[in-house]
DNA sequence: GCCCATTATGTCGTATTACGATATTTCTCA
DNA sequence: TGAGAAATATCGTAATACGACATAATGGGC
């Protein structure tokens, strides 16, 4: 019998494990930085997603797509962030069912420091990640 | 006053948000595949980490380092996986405090299918990730 | 050869958080 | 205008990682 061309060998598994571990390293770094700022990882990602898009476009539904969460989960996330004084929301002109979220100045400041640190970390792991990707043909 | 050279502009935030979103896409894919196999993401990563290392090297402590979790958390993770019939463990010759974990045939089979799917998905997002990394200078 | 600090793993209770089911408000358009 | 859809919100629940603590085994100094 001939070898299955799609069969994975030890090197394939090692590459997958290394890829996953590298992502985990980045996420653990991010977790730590966010925690220093008093944020959960999701809260941090939510703030970043809002900052990364033009003002007025960050609705609950948009965030749900962007974070790959259920809309009602984002609703709770936004409530917690609002309670922390990091988010404000208002209904846009056209559709009063929607809620457009925007960062408070406090959130802008938090995110500025967090993002600088993350940018550095991504630059640090960039060669690692590139090499890793090359192991996937 | 001159502009802070380290200041982040909208494009920097967008790159960070896109990078994070791409990781989230991969993790959501992985979550879904793992769930189809009846595994949590951590359980999947644990199996992969064990498979990715030579037999006999995957102790609880090693996994804790690799997954960036507390050892006692890995202990519980291993207990759940054992209850599912996916892991077996035994004390190695030298040090009977340690517990070496290895996959059962059932876990090998699950992981084979999962890993093939993940390899494909990584190949799919590889160009996206590469372009993204280039946005970080 | 024995003691004790250290290492490795395990147990228990708790807090966080994402989800399903369901509800409410607003919009759309026939 | 009324029915159904869309967008967001509420509530109870389940999963899981952690801290604090416990147990077991090791090994170096004397």
Whole-number distance in Å between B41 CA and D16 C1': 11
Nearest nucleotide over every DNA/RNA strand to the B80 CA, judged by C1': D16
> What is the topology classification, in CATH, of domain A10-134?
Arc Repressor Mutant, subunit A (1.10.10)
Name the phi and psi angles at A101, rounded to 5.
Answer: -105, 140
Q: What is the CA radius of gyration of chain A?
A: 19
pLDDT in the model for residue B3? 60
Q: Tell me the mean pLDDT in the region B97-106.
A: 96
pLDDT in the model for residue B90? 92
For chain D, which bases have at least one atom within 7 A of a protein Cβ?
6-11, 15-21, 24-27
Q: Is any atom of strand C within 7 angstroms of residue A43's beta carbon?
A: yes
Best B10, B18, B21 residue to mutate vs chain A (most A CBs within 10 Å): B21
The count of CB pairs under 8 A between chains A and B is 104
pLDDT in the model for residue B94? 87
CB A39 within 8 A of CB A47: yes
pLDDT in the model for residue A137? 85
C-alpha–C-alpha distance, residues B53 and B11, integer Å: 40
Using the structure block, give the residue that is written with the tokens 């093939």: B116
C-alpha distance from A10 to closest chain B C-alpha (Å): 7
pLDDT in the model for residue B4? 67
pLDDT in the model for residue A112? 96
Model confidence at B1, in pLDDT bands (50, 70, 90)?
A: low
Residues of chain A with pLDDT under 70: 1-5
Model confidence at B65, in pLDDT bands (50, 70, 90)?
A: very high
Q: Is any atom of strand C within 7 angstroms of residue B71's beta carbon?
A: yes
pLDDT in the model for residue A104? 97
pLDDT in the model for residue B125? 96
pLDDT in the model for residue B79? 96
Q: Which of A125-129, A130-134, B69-73, B92-96 has the lowest mean pLDDT?
A: B92-96
Cβ–Cβ below 8 Å for A48 and B136: no
């Amino acid at each position: 019998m001939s070898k299955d061309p799609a069969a994975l060998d030890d090197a394939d598994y090692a590459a997958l494990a290394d890829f996953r571990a590298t992502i985990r390293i980045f996420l653990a770094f991010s977790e730590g930085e966010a925690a220093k700022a008093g944020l959960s990882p999701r809260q941090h990602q939510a703030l970043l997603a809002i900052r990364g898009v033009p003002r007025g476009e960050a609705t609950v539904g948009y965030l749900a797509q962007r974070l790959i969460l259920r809309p009602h989960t984002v609703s709770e996330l936004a409530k917690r962030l609002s309670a922390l004084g990091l988010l404000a929301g208002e209904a846009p002109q056209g559709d009063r069912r929607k809620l457009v979220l925007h960062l408070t100045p406090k959130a802008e400041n938090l995110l500025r420091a967090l993002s600088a640190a993350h940018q550095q970390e991504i630059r640090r792991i960039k060669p690692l990640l590139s090499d890793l990707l090359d192991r996937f043909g």
